[in-house]
């Protein structure tokens, strides 16, 4: 690895601090830094070249050493190709001191090293202010037997923000033991009346599966798993719910009715029906969410509004539709009953209230052919 001379290291440190300060000042959501390139910020969804310029002939090796806090960071990237982690910057002094957190992806690129940093806001302890529906919060607060709640949606739709808010809200009300397992940790969730143990894959635990198995010996009331992405984690999450724990997790699906088949697809064909049976026994609800830009015509440009799709799976007739794979029928029931609503219905409500423009709502619809009829 090529080390920078001390004065070059200092220049790189200054650049790194300055680009973060500029991002915070301009309320940018993302920072983009790449070898042999200018730095960019994403502000209100749009890319803009940063005023802060990288030092001439700079190398990013020192920056990634600083972020990863591990000597030989570049060699680790060669081994793993990329790394996801969190980064914390302290701003100000004394009573003015505050903490800014970032979700960071570091990878090797054709030009050298690329760093993308997503600014993480402080936890909103009231999910209603984010647009999380009352139906989901009532289900969670009334729960006493455990089960799984999935928050689904595409990358960048605010799933982690929603989960952090829900956990913070619960811990404000109840003295519970909560264990979170994330890759990376994205929010510092306040303890409230309870206790929270936050674990990070790759830093304080080797995997979601291992951390989940350890959690069973830590007597949790609530478990948050950052994402279900493999069969081992899926089975561990289901087992945790079967033993009476309330489990929250995320998954990348666009419709609530797709979650059972998405989980089943992680397994060999001969095990898929068994997995759906196991999942259905403990599945409580699925909420799909999308972030929609505020309407320009109504003066809400620059704001983001949460559009949701919701499915309550506790009713026996609903579970029967899941078990028999009648997902089209399940979606029909979802459209017109107390078990939930579709994303299109939520988008229509946002349009009617002048929160978002129809053109933007159409762009995030997960069923455009029925957009006008729901």
Q: Which residue ranges make up each domain of the chain? A: 6-120, 127-373
Residue 314 neighbours by CB under 8 Å, 6+ apart: 139, 284, 285
179 pLDDT exceeds 90?
yes
pTM for the model: 0.81
77 pLDDT exceeds 80?
no
Each residue's pLDDT tens digit, 10-27: 666 788 889 999 999 998
Distances (CA, A) of 12 to 40, 53, 63, 228: 16, 11, 7, 37
pLDDT at residue 6, rounded to an integer: 44
d(CA 227, CA 250): 5
pLDDT at residue 131, rounded to an integer: 96
In percent, how much of the chain has pLDDT > 70? Answer: 90
Mean per-residue pLDDT over the chain, rounded: 89
Each residue's pLDDT tens digit, 341-357: 999 999 999 999 999 99
Residue 1 neighbours by CB under 8 Å, 6+ apart: 61, 72, 74, 75
Residue 112 neighbours by CB under 8 Å, 6+ apart: 34, 35, 36, 59, 60
**Which homologous superfamily does the CATH classification assign to the domain defined by 127-373?**
P-loop containing nucleotide triphosphate hydrolases (3.40.50.300)
Fold that domain 6-120 belongs to in CATH: Beta-Lactamase (3.30.450)
Bridge-partner residues for 225, per DSSP?
Answer: 181, 249
């Amino acid at each position: 690895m090529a080390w920078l001379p001390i004065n070059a290291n200092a220049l790189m440190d200054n650049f790194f601090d300055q680009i973060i300060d500029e991002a915070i000042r301009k309320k940018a959501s993302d920072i983009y830094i790449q070898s042999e390139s200018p730095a960019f910020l994403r502000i209100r969804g749009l890319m803009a070249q940063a005023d802060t310029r990288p030092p001439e002939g700079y190398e990013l090796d020192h920056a990634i050493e600083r972020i990863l806090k591990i000597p030989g960071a570049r060699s680790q990237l060669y081994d793993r190709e990329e790394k996801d982690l969190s980064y914390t910057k302290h701003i100000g002094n004394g009573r003015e001191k505050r903490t800014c957190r970032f979700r960071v992806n570091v990878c090797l690129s054709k030009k050298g090293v690329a760093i993308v940093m997503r600014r993480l806001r402080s936890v909103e302890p009231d999910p209603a202010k984010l647009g999380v529906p009352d139906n989901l919060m009532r289900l969670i607060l009334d729960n006493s037997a455990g089960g799984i709640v999935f928050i689904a949606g595409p990358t960048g739709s605010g799933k982690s923000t929603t989960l952090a808010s829900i956990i913070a809200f619960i811990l404000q009300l109840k003295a519970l033991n909560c264990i979170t397992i994330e890759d990376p940790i994205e929010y510092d969730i306040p303890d409230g009346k309870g206790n929270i143990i936050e674990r990070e894959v790759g830093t304080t635990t080797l995997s979601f599966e291992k951390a989940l198995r350890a959690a069973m010996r830590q007597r949790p009331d609530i478990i948050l798993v950052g994402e279900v992405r493999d069969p081992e984690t899926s089975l561990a999450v289901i087992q945790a719910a079967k033993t009476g724990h309330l489990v929250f997790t995320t998954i990348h699906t666009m419709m609530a009715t797709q979650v059972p088949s998405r989980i089943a697809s992680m397994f060999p064909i001969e095990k898929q029906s068994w997995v759906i049976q196991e999942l259905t026994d403990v599945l409580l609800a699925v909420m799909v969410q999308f972030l929609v830009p505020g309407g320009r015509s109504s003066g809400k440009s620059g704001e983001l509004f949460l559009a949701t799709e919701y499915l309550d799976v506790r009713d026996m007739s609903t579970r029967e539709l899941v078990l028999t794979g009648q997902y089209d029928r399940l979606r029909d029931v979802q459209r017109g009953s107390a078990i939930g609503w579709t994303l299109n219905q939520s988008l229509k409500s946002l349009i009617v209230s002048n929160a978002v423009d129809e053109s933007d709502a159409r762009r995030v619809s997960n069923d455009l052919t029925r957009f006008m009829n729901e």
